[in-house]
Amino acid sequence: MLAVVCPGQGSQTPGMLSPWLELPGTADLLDTFSAAAGTDLAQHGTTSDADTIRDTAVAQPLIVASSLLALRAILDGRPTTEVVDVTAGHSVGELSAAAVSGALDDAGAVGLVSHRARAMAEAAAAAPSGMSAVVGGDPDEVLAAIEAAGLFPANVNGGGQVVAAGDPERLAALAADAPARARVIPLQVAGAFHTPFMESARMAFERVATGWLATDPRLPLLSDADGASYDTLAPGAHGYGTATDVLARLAAQVTAPVRWDLCQATLAERGVTAILELAPGGVLTGLAKRALKGVEAVAVKSPDDIEAARDLIARHSVAAGAGAPA
């Protein structure tokens, strides 16, 4: 059984779209995405420097566009329903996953995430805040230390990684007095995402998202709020959830913690045997190697990974009639 997962903010790197633009048709698709985003994604994906693409307003549409460019190159015209058994995305990656599921079309996902990105950038600029990864330690002790420091567990990623978020001085205090056997690593992000610091962004994005053009998912889509498949909320027209629930949860996600640990638990419960992480891949497959032992994983970073992705699909996709190798 094949899961397609979509990375979140922080996975971007300078020049990451350059090799993709050498593929036929990709430049035209990226032009469509740029128009939807209201920004030149080709420039940001080829020549913009690290500081420029670290800007939340740039990073989020760039990452979603990269994931969807890679998806379409891998599938080469095949519909996702014939290939993907389940999909999920980490934070902003859930908008990419919504497109994988058919709840959003590709350009619609890039356009919608641009509204999210601008709202979150404005909220981050309103008050100083930040995020730090807490790696290692006892999970309960780590969560207790984050709470005691007056911070928020913005991402609970599994595999011994929690991301704390909040006031910069409190993050510094947590680093100075880290939980036992844990390291606190500051992250290069603009604000305390997935915390109450983003409330103004949630309100602004919700006004846009609830009226956005969407359809009911056509394959299983997981929510990173709790790892639940949207079909557990309501079956929808295709049996996999409703557009209304997807849009509502995408809006609520702006201030809600990302529970990637629960998404991985759901993937394990569903019997997933392989994970394909779309570009710019690497982070989620790394987490899967620690939390989903025995599950084969391929991270797509460039067109050089397309054949490995197609091979993984051929051997594991139940939708494509393969299933796990004997």
Active-site positions? 91, 194
Residue keyed to tokens 């947590």? 174
Contacts within 8 Å (CB) and 24+ apart, 233-238: 238/102
How many CA atoms are closer than 13 Å to the CA of 59, on its beta-carbon side? 23
Nearby residues of 3 by Cβ (< 8 Å), 6 or more positions away:
84, 85, 86, 87, 88, 267, 270, 272, 274, 275, 276
Strand runs labelled E in 101-148? 130-136
- Tell me the CA distances in angstroms from 253 to 203, 258, 285, 323, one per residue in order: 11, 8, 22, 32
Coil/strand/helix, residue 5: strand
Peptide bond into 280 cis (omega under 30): yes
Q: Which of 68, 10, 85, 77 is CA-nearest to residue 34? A: 68
Report residue 162 as tokens. 């929690």
Q: Which of 326, 323, 301 is CA-nearest to residue 312? A: 323
Q: Which of 313, 308, 263 is CA-nearest to residue 284? A: 263
CA 113-117-123 angle, 5° bins: 145
